[in-house]
Amino acid sequence: MILTDTHTHLYSEAFDEDRDLAIGKAMALGIKRFFIPAIDSSYTAAMLNLEKSYPENIFLMTGLHPTHVKEDYRKELDHVEEMLALRKFYAVGETGIDLYWDKTFLKEQRIAFKQQIQWAKKYVYPIVIHCREGFDEIFQILEEEKSDTLYGIFHCFTGTFEQAQKAISYNMKLGIGGVVTFKNGKIDAFLGKIDLKHVVLETDSPYLAPVPYRGKRNESAYLVNILEKMAQLYAMDKEEVAAITTANSREIFGI
């Protein structure tokens, strides 16, 4: 059984004490593929070092996270553009709109999101979308930018059934993580109605650990807990869910 964690921040400071141990633990459970989203330029060196250590398992993205869109966002976008011209990546992201923490830079978040979508289309890379209280804004921009070359993942999907259908209509897979195990997560109420071909699995580690680890540091090994919940929701064998969602990740990332 091969599992794919389509969204994990393994370069995060949260893993500085036991990164290799955490990766080894995940790999022992069949999690062999780790797709690594960017946050901002301050993490680029750590991401490249991680890839160098695990070249067969680590697949990098480049992008500017919406919560890191600040006064210097133009400089950060220049860095993303430079990286895209420099080497191959597997996606542009994570990018999107986050209005949960701060709405001060909404205008700049919109500009940054739109720019990164345009780069994703230019390089024919998937876009990996972060959305927190920003569905309306994101759907508006996706409508403006929609094309045959726009596709990707709605990371950490926490919306309604209708929003899930809308995301899928824009060639997006739904990234499902620990929230599906939460009693108040809500997506478990309708997820089984959505064809599994539209779903990929993720942890978003070190954030959003699934039950029974909720509130603790998340790690890629906990993808098996998400897999177990998904197998229950879809009334399928875990091996079958793993095979389908990994095939979906190959479709998105091209590897």
Is there a contact between 204 and 177 (Cβ–Cβ < 8 Å)?
yes
In this predicted structure, what is the pLDDT of residue 102?
87
Q: Tell me the Ramachandran region of residue 254: left when phi exceeds 0, alpha when psi lies from -120 to 50, beta otherwise.
A: left
DSSP, collapsed to helix, strand or coil, labels residue 174 as strand
d(CA 47, CA 36): 8
In this predicted structure, what is the pLDDT of residue 41?
98
Residue 75, judged by CB atoms within 10 A of its CB (0-12, 13-18, 19+), counts as exposed
14-49, pLDDT tens digit by residue? 999 999 999 999 999 999 999 999 999 999 999 999
In this predicted structure, what is the pLDDT of residue 61?
98
Alpha carbons within 13 angstroms on the beta-carbon side of residue 99 total 10
Mean pLDDT of 165-185: 97
pLDDT above 90 covers a percentage of the chain that reads: 98
- Which architecture, in CATH terms, is 3-253? Alpha-Beta Barrel (3.20)
Mean pLDDT of 123-136: 97
In this predicted structure, what is the pLDDT of residue 160?
97
In this predicted structure, what is the pLDDT of residue 107?
97
Q: What are phi and psi of 110, to 5 degrees?
A: -65, -45
In this predicted structure, what is the pLDDT of residue 101?
83
Is there a contact between 89 and 125 (Cβ–Cβ < 8 Å)?
yes
In this predicted structure, what is the pLDDT of residue 46?
98
Question: Encoding tokens for residue 157?
Answer: 């999907």
Mean pLDDT of 239-249: 98
Q: State pTM to two decimals.
A: 0.97
Domain parsing of the chain, residue ranges: 3-253
Band of residue 98 on the pLDDT scale cut at 50, 70, 90: very high
199-210, pLDDT tens digit by residue? 999 999 999 999
Mean pLDDT estimate for the chain: 97
Band of residue 181 on the pLDDT scale cut at 50, 70, 90: very high
